[in-house]
Structure 1
Amino acid sequence: PGPNAATISLIKGFEGFVASPAPDPIGLPTVGFGHLCQSKGCAEVPFSFPLSQATASQLLTNDLGQFVTCVNSAVSNSVTLNDNQVGALVSFSFNLGCGTLKSSTLLKRLNNGEDPNTVAAAEIPKFDLAGGKVLAGLVKRRAAEVTLFQTPSQVKAHPC
């Protein structure tokens, strides 16, 4: 399954909506809700610019699939996570890249069987740098990801 509504809302809130390709705070070209352009002018985007909110939402949904796959393949099947916990990790990975999750102490500790909520609170906030500088927006985003991660849910999302 794809990310839950709380995850989509968190990502949209922090990424913001950009109708036409423009540089993000560290100069990377993005469009929609945080789509990182892969080619000049975001030629890979299957929608015309300026994007509408609806097409930007569809682009985000398309983009998030690879990060759901990333989280589910990186987190050991011995670790049970609910939809909010997976969603927080999807947001984290979408923002920082799958490689960052895979090489993190966050993942190591989760896969070692430590309490997920304790690990999230200790590890997620460490990732607040962009271009070598602490960004207030990233501090807030990491705090929101911890809050989402620690929000109870009966919906099991991993292993799927």
Structure 2
Amino acid sequence: MKNQRISAAGSDLIEDFEDDRLEAYPDPATGGAPWTIGRGHTGPEVRPGLKITQAQSDALFAQDLHARGEIIINVLDLDLTQNQFDALVSFVFNVGPGKKGVKDGFIELREGGPSTLLKKLRERDYAGAADQFPLWDKGDGKPMAGLTRRRAAEHALFMKVD
């Protein structure tokens, strides 16, 4: 898995849920931070009024896909199918790794410790891990239809056998 990269199908799944916007926009759940630009790119440089070109958006998307894939590779010592890897990259692309005291995520929860999804993967309980996707459909504590659809798509891809 050390050299695994997201496939075109995985990239397409992410693009199905991420608008490609060339002007920074607020998080739909908070109406503010984190500000986003391009296809789901966030970071300290993204602020209200920031504008980028299509080429910059494409470059940020490629960098973000690579970075999210590296998160999966570095935190899991597993052989994943391409579909499992792609679904996890999409999940981490949207949810993030998390940070104790700040934000729930794939690697770390706000209260500390790993997510149940990560624990199930480390236990090689793939069905149990897949069952975790639908639980991550909330923004600011409320279910969001777009996240519900995205988690269903990620779940389906994770479970798909080629």
TM-score of the two chains, using structure 1 as the length reference: 0.81
2:160 maps to amino acid = T
Report which structure shows greater RCO (CA 8 Å, sep ≥6).
1
Deviation at 1:109, TM superposition (A): 1.1
Q: Does structure 1 residue 113 correspond to structure 2 residue 124?
A: yes
Alpha-carbon distance between aligned partners in 2 of 1:3 and 1:129, rounded to the nearest angstrom = 25
Contact 2:24 2:46 in 1 (8 A): no
Structure in which a larger fraction of residues adopt strand: 1
For 1:2, what is the secondary structure of its paired residue? coil
One-letter code aligned to 1:31? I
CA contact (8 A) 1:129 1:138 kept: yes
Residue 66 and residue 113 in structure 1: after superposition, are their counterparts in 2 closer, same or farther (change >3 A)?
A: same
Measure how far apart 1:39 and its partner are.
Answer: 2.5
Partner of residue 73, structure 1: 74
Task: Tell me the equivalent position of 2:138.
Answer: 129
Residue by residue, what CA displacement relative to the aligned partner does 1:129-154 show, whole Å, maximum 9, x if unpaired? 1111110000000000011112224x
Change (3 A) 1:12 1:20: same
Would you identify which runs of 4 or more consecutive aligned residues in structure 1 move more than 2 Å? Answer: 39-43, 48-51
Mapped partners of 1:74, 1:42: distance in 2: 33
Aligned pair count reads 144
* Deviation at residue 23 of structure 1 after TM alignment: 1.1
TM-score by length of 2: 0.80
The equivalent of 2:7 in structure 1 is 4
One-letter amino acid matched to 1:41: R
Structure 1, unaligned stretches of length 5 or more?
A: 154-160
RMSD: 2.1
Moved more, 130-139 or 24-33: 24-33
Inter-partner Cα distance in structure 2 for 1:112 and 1:61: 30
